[in-house]
Amino acid sequence: MEIKIQTIHFEAGEKLQDYIQKRVSKLTRFCDEIKKAEVSLKVVKPETAMNKEVALRLAVPGSELYAQKVADTFEEGVDQCCDTLTRQLEKYKDKKNR
C-alpha cells in the first residue's frame, strides 16, 4: 500500500510521519486490497484548541473510503480517522462477500 502524506500551512516532523505510516499501515489487517492511502494534515486556526484537521482517503477496488476529523493533536486526529475507516472497511468487506 502506498501512503502519501500532504501537509498544509506547516511542515510535518519525522516523528509525526512515522506515526502516520505505522498507524495507517495497520488498516491492511482489515482489508488487504487497499491500493493507496492519502493523508492530508492542516492547521486550521493557529493558537486555538481543536485546530488540527486530518483527512484520510483510502482507495480500494471499486470504491473510495474517506474520513475527516478535527482534534487537538494530529496523532489524535489520525487515530479517530483510522477508527472510522476500520468500520467502513468492515462494511466494504461485508458488501463484497455477499
Q: How far apart are CA 39 and CA 26, in angstroms?
A: 14
Query: Whole-prediction pTM value?
Result: 0.91
Do the beta carbons of residue 16 and residue 74 sit within 8 Å?
A: yes
Which range of residues forms the domain containing residue 59? 2-97
- What is the pLDDT of the chain when averaged over all its residues? 92
What CATH number has the domain bearing residue 13?
A: 3.30.160.100
pLDDT digits (tens, 9 = 90+) for 10-24: 888 999 999 999 999
Average pLDDT for residues 48-77, to the nearest whole number? 93
- Residue of 27, 31, 30, 13 whose CA lies nearest to 75: 13
In total, how many domains does the chain have? 1
- Close Cβ partners of 89 (under 8 Å, ≥ 6 residues apart): 27, 30, 31, 34, 58, 60, 65
Q: Is 24 exposed, middle or buried (0-12, 13-18, 19+ CB in 10 A)?
A: buried
